[in-house]
Structure 1
Amino acid sequence: MSLGGKVWITWTRKTKSNYVGKIILAAALTALCILMLKQSPSFNSRSPFSNHEPGVTHVLVTGGAGYIGSHAALRLLKDSHRVTVVDNLSRGNMGAVKVLQELFPEPGRLQFIYADLGNAKAVNKIFAENAFDAVMHFAAVAYVGESTLDPLKYYHNITSNTLVVLEAMAAHGVKTLIYSSTCATYGEPEKMPITEETPQLPINPYGKAKKMAEDIILDFHKNSNMAIMILRLFHPHVSFFHYFSLSVKTQMARLGEAPRPELREHGRISGACFDAARGIIPGLKVRGVDYKTPDGTCIRDYIDVTDLVDAHVKALEKAMPGKVGIYNVGTGRDQSRSLLRHVRRLTGVNIKVDFLPRRPGDYAEVFSDPSKILLELNWTAQYTDLQKSLGIAWRWQKLHRNGYGTSVTIADS
């Protein structure tokens, strides 16, 4: 071998040796960095939402950007629970979530996840990444009239999606379900008031879809140790929490109802009254004046959303493994005929009323017997002064003329 060949071989070996040395050095430095990171508290700390924490109940609130769901999330947060809101914002409002985030900015208190409960893969990922202790399932399309026009939407959104949530709970060991159902599952009973033993004979797709979801939950429970509470809600009206003082700051932070324009005709009558008073719609449409009631119009049991949410919280507190509780949530009173009179007095507007034929799928008379929930959960409606509740709601409407998009500051009263 020539001298030149020996020099080349020696140089090559040195180069390889240097290269290997650099790799070893880099690996050693990498290992050292990893070791130092692992010793750092921030490296080992997982998201608080992914850990079960003693003394803290982590509640998944489906539909938590909606009207009732956002109020429930607020109450849970005020009670020091950890809350995850899941919503696809098809009916919910991101403005409500922002209000909650502003009120509870502390880490580990509240998180929002944009997801559709119809996507089983996404739902399972949410359950896999979060340590839930309980689920409050509000997410649902909820307009009787719309359900008669588009029934498949209701069976998909209510029945199928509830099945997806229940399967995820079973797969990931979440043992408590508070299911927000509806009095629409009873249909049009022959006797009033409605008790929990009243036969469920729904007459519209909304009520049928909710009853199907209830049946799925009850069938599943027969071979499960899950704690189940089913709350059949009567008619929440447009109000919101009575917990805050009347300062401008807290008024700006309150939650209210701000339905999309295309959904207004399907919404709650109290909201329609306010829309008419503000000139958003030309007048109030009363559908059906030939029912077998004293004035020919529908009779309803209206409940303040504060009371409604309180019933859900009491259900969460009383839920027992292996047990099922089914409760009507209402006042037991008919206040429907006084509602328009109260709104006219509050707003000072002589709201025009158009009387129209019956709405498909509606029923004449519905009000509850709430004695069972009083006996077993110690719950009764507290905010039954309809005019006072409507007055609070009207104040929010004036402060938020375009829903959550804009707000108006007024002087303290």
Structure 2
Amino acid sequence: MKFSRSEAGVTHVLVTGGAGYIGSHATLRLLKDSYRVTIVDNLSRGNIGAVKVLQELFPEPGRLQFIYADLGDAKAVNKIFSENAFDAVMHFAAVAYVGESTLDPLKYYHNITSNTLVVLEAMAAHNVNTLIYSSTCATYGEPEKMPITEETPQNPINPYGKAKKIYFNVIGSDPDGRLGEAPRPELREHGRISGACFDAARGITNGLKVRGTDYKTPDGTCIRDYIDVTDLVDAHVKALENAKPGHLGIYNVGTGKGRSVKEFVEACKKATGEPIKVEYLPRRPGDYAEVFSDPSKILRELKWSAQFTDLEKSLQVAWKWQKSHRDGYGSTKALF
């Protein structure tokens, strides 16, 4: 089968961490846009179930390839590049929980920094010159001015941000109900707030724990810029389509609006229709009070802006997937 993407000059994309939450959604979008994709994932955080869903959606030979490998294994990574002609790399593979990073910082420095270097060395050795690197707002730390721009000094305050050194907090799921977020049970305490809300709504946990109510914000809880995963992967694909040789583009990917944790919890209660019990606790190490973006640069240069900006609606979509996949990717009953 012939694969062409003449307007962008890209055919075959390596998606690291493509079995994870964001990586799988990015892979879905790339495949829908007629790219050829190879996923590399060690499944330490990702789900083979997500890969199976993608393989069922795109069964044509040569469209999607999955390779089980660890990016820390330079020999394995070099072999992958030797056996495949990649035109670009979309790099999502990383451990990605702020709380966990403060408990095990060395894991984060090794996983994010060292493993990324292995990928970069393989790219250089095999003349693959296009990299879309998925970062995090945690690199900015505690900015003095809001909203943050691409020129805001990066002063991370936790090991995750220090290792990543630019998207914001991710929510939602595939609007057609094919993919969602299914974090490993042992990592629930470190996971995203949306997952914690859904776990409380489903009775998996006995309530939601909100850490920190004394920040210098209007209601005392942290303020974040919540971006729908569909918008996030659209921004990554726009960056891929507009990649130019020798050009480094850094873009903040967000809605441009901050929402507090208390606001988020209320939206989650409405989206799920469940009376979520909330327990307020002291601050968690490594958290910062407020961060939200000014996405005007990516609008100006890549013509991208967030489209799914209704927080409650994004959570409703994600909640439908959660309800129909009570065992994560182990259950496939659909409500869509």
TM bracket (short chain): over 0.9
Match of 1:82 among 36, 50, 58: 36
Shift of 1:407: 3.0
Say whether the 8 Å CA contact 2:223–2:258 is kept in structure 1.
yes
Does structure 1 residue 313 correspond to structure 2 residue 237? Answer: yes
Say whether the 8 Å CA contact 2:174–2:180 is kept in structure 1.
no
Q: What stretches of structure 1 of length at least 5 have no aligned partner?
A: 1-47, 212-231, 245-250
Matched with 2:170 is 236
Say whether the 8 Å CA contact 1:272–1:284 is kept in structure 2.
yes
Matched with 2:21 is 67
Shift of 1:175: 1.1
Match of 1:390 among 296, 308, 315: 315
Matched with 2:53 is 99
Say whether the 8 Å CA contact 2:4–2:35 is kept in structure 1.
no
For residues 240-278 of structure 1, give each alpha carbon's deviation from its aligned partner in whole angstroms, at most 9, with x where no partner exists. 123x3xxxxxx4xx1011111110111111111110010
For residues 330-350 of structure 1, give each alpha carbon's deviation from its aligned partner in whole angstroms, at most 9, with x where no partner exists. 101122342211221232221
Please tell me the residue identity of whatever aligns with 2:265.
L
Distance 2:93 2:271 in 1: 32
Distance 1:191 1:409 in 2: 44
Matched with 1:257 is 181
Matched with 1:222 is none
Say whether the 8 Å CA contact 1:118–1:164 is kept in structure 2.
yes
Match of 1:178 among 126, 132, 136: 132
Matched with 2:278 is 353
For residues 201-239 of structure 1, give each alpha carbon's deviation from its aligned partner in whole angstroms, at most 9, with x where no partner exists. 00000001111xxxxxxxxxxxxxxxxxxxx101111x1
**For residues 393-408 of structure 1, what are the structure 2 equivalents within 5 Å?**
393-408=318-333
Distance 2:281 2:92 in 1: 31
Say whether the 8 Å CA contact 1:86–1:113 is kept in structure 2.
yes
Shift of 1:89: 0.1
Does structure 1 residue 341 correspond to structure 2 residue 275? Answer: no
Distance 1:339 1:291 in 2: 16
Distance 1:332 1:53 in 2: 35
Distance 1:394 1:206 in 2: 27
Distance 1:90 1:364 in 2: 30
Say whether the 8 Å CA contact 1:136–1:180 is kept in structure 2.
yes
Distance 1:406 1:164 in 2: 35
For residues 360-383 of structure 1, give each alpha carbon's deviation from its aligned partner in whole angstroms, at most 9, with x where no partner exists. 000000100101111011100000
For residues 140-179 of structure 1, give each alpha carbon's deviation from its aligned partner in whole angstroms, at most 9, with x where no partner exists. 0000010000001001100000000000000000010000
Matched with 2:217 is 293
**For residues 212-227 of structure 1, what are the structure 2 equivalents within 5 Å?**
none
Which gives a bigger RCO, structure 1 or 2 (Cα 8 Å, sep 6+)? 2
Shift of 1:54: 7.6
Matched with 2:193 is 269
Percent identity between matched residues is 80
Matched with 1:32 is none
Aligned positions, number: 332
Distance 1:312 1:297 in 2: 30
- Is the partner of 1:361 in helix, strand or coil? coil
Say whether the 8 Å CA contact 2:221–2:289 is kept in structure 1.
yes
Shift of 1:52: 8.9
Does structure 1 residue 138 correspond to structure 2 residue 63? Answer: no
Matched with 1:6 is none
Q: What stretches of structure 2 of length at least 5 have no aligned partner?
A: none
Shift of 1:406: 1.4
- Is the partner of 2:252 in helix, strand or coil? strand
Say whether the 8 Å CA contact 1:66–1:93 is kept in structure 2.
yes
Say whether the 8 Å CA contact 2:3–2:36 is kept in structure 1.
no
Distance 2:164 2:267 in 1: 32
Distance 2:312 2:141 in 1: 28
By percentage of residues, which structure has more helix?
Answer: 1
Q: TM-score, normalised by structure 1?
A: 0.78
Say whether the 8 Å CA contact 2:3–2:35 is kept in structure 1.
no
Shift of 1:324: 0.6
Match of 1:365 among 286, 290, 304: 290
Matched with 1:10 is none
Matched with 2:250 is 326
Matched with 2:118 is 164
Distance 1:326 1:317 in 2: 15
Q: TM-score, normalised by structure 2?
A: 0.96
Change (3 A) 1:198 1:115: same
Say whether the 8 Å CA contact 1:52–1:131 is kept in structure 2.
no
Distance 1:153 1:134 in 2: 27
Say whether the 8 Å CA contact 2:4–2:34 is kept in structure 1.
no
Please tell me the residue identity of whatever aligns with 1:290.
D
Please tell me the residue identity of whatever aligns with 1:280.
I
